[in-house]
């Protein structure tokens, strides 16, 4: 099963992708996580990606497509995966489709997690992340057991640089310009399903499970 998570930044794609990955035993593939891991390790890719991420812009397609295709070519992706944060542009979606077609394969389901822009800034200003294991919390809605500390690995939680309000506004504009057209793209392929992302995370997940089966 190959699933794509669509939605604005902060809509809850990562939160849901992790739950789907666990329930259906699929790898969770997040291009944002891959960029952040590279940044933490100080690789050239990480440095290049940071230039764009800090501005709230998209990392260029060439770079992003290459790291994504490398990742999904790994053994653990043989039986499928949940893509979170990819594709973010029509050309990215087209490359993915072409590569899958070569293998006689295709994307099965694109899930659009719908959350209005008004809710997004609040969601993102409260987001806290663990840079070690990738877990994500929200200071009000999904708090860790101990304030500022990751439940899974005990690391201190941080606010992502790109979750500051000015950058969030820019990311929302980029989302509407470059990523939202994918809703139409996958609708035309008859694989788009929409869930109401304003519900609490268990209710959103219950809706997703109904779609995945």
Contact residues toward ligand ADP (CB under 6 A) are: 7, 9-15, 123, 126-127, 136-138, 141-142, 200-201, 204
Tokens describing residue 104: 């006689």
Active site includes 123? no
Q: Which of 2, 36, 71, 171 is catalytic?
A: 171
**How far is CA 58 from each of CA 23, 65, 125, rounded to the nearest angstrom?**
30, 12, 20
By CB under 6 A, the residues from 116 to 175 that bind ligand AMP are 162, 171
Q: How far apart are CA 65 and CA 91, in angstroms?
A: 9
Q: Considering CB distances under 5 to 8 angstroms, the limit depending on partner class, which of ligand ADP, ligand AMP, none binds residue 201?
A: ligand ADP
Please, are residues 45 and 38 in contact by the beta-carbon 8 Å criterion?
yes
Of 18 and 99, CB closest to ligand ADP: 18
Tokens describing residue 111: 């899930």
Q: Give the angle subtended at the CA of 111 by the CAs of 134 and 193, to the nearest 5°.
A: 165
Q: Which of 12, 85, 134, 197 binds ligand AMP (CB under 6 A)?
A: 85
Active site includes 36? no
Please, are residues 100 and 83 in contact by the beta-carbon 8 Å criterion?
no
Show Cβ contacts of residue 71 under 8 Å, excluding neighbours closer than 6 positions. 29, 34, 77
Q: Which of 5, 7, 20, 35 binds ligand AMP (CB under 6 A)?
A: 35
Q: Considering CB distances under 5 to 8 angstroms, the limit depending on partner class, which of ligand ADP, ligand AMP, none binds residue 86?
A: ligand AMP
Q: Which of 50, 122, 132, 160 is catalytic?
A: 160
Q: Which of 13, 36, 123, 128 is catalytic?
A: 13
Please, are residues 56 and 167 in contact by the beta-carbon 8 Å criterion?
yes
Question: Which range touches ligand AMP (CB under 6 A), out of 57-65, 133-141, 182-190, 199-207?
Answer: 57-65
CA atoms within a 13 Å half-sphere pointing along the CA-CB vector of 161: 12
Active site includes 164? no
Residue with tokens 């394969």, as numbered in its chain: 105
Helix (H), strand (E) at residue 133 = none
> Shortest Cβ distance from residue 98 to ligand ADP (Å)?
26
Contact residues for ligand AMP, defined by CB under 6 A: 9, 31-32, 35, 52-53, 57-59, 64, 85-88, 92, 162, 171
Q: List residues with catalytic annotation.
A: 13, 88, 127, 160, 171
């Amino acid at each position: 099963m190959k699933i794509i998570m669509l939605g604005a930044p902060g809509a809850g794609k990562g939160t849901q992708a992790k739950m789907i990955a666990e329930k259906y035993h699929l790898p969770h593939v997040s291009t944002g996580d891959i960029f952040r891991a590279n940044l933490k390790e100080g690789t050239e890719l990480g440095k290049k990606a940071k230039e764009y991420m800090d501005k709230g812009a998209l990392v260029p397609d060439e770079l992003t497509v290459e790291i994504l295709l490398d990742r999904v070519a790994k053994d653990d992706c043989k039986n499928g995966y949940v893509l979170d944060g990819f594709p973010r542009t029509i050309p990215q979606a087209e490359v993915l489709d072409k590569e899958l077609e070569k293998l006689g394969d295709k994307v099965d389901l694109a899930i659009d997690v719908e959350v209005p822009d008004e809710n997004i800034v609040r969601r993102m200003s409260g987001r806290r992340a663990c840079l070690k294991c990738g877990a994500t919390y929200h200071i009000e809605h999904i708090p860790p057991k101990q304030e500022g500390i990751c439940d899974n690995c005990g690391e201190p939680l941080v606010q992502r640089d790109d979750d500051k309000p000015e950058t969030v506004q820019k990311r929302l504009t980029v989302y509407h310009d470059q990523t939202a057209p994918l809703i139409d793209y996958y609708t035309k392929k008859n694989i788009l399903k929409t869930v109401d992302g304003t519900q609490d995370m268990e209710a959103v997940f219950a809706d997703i499970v109904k779609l995945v089966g």
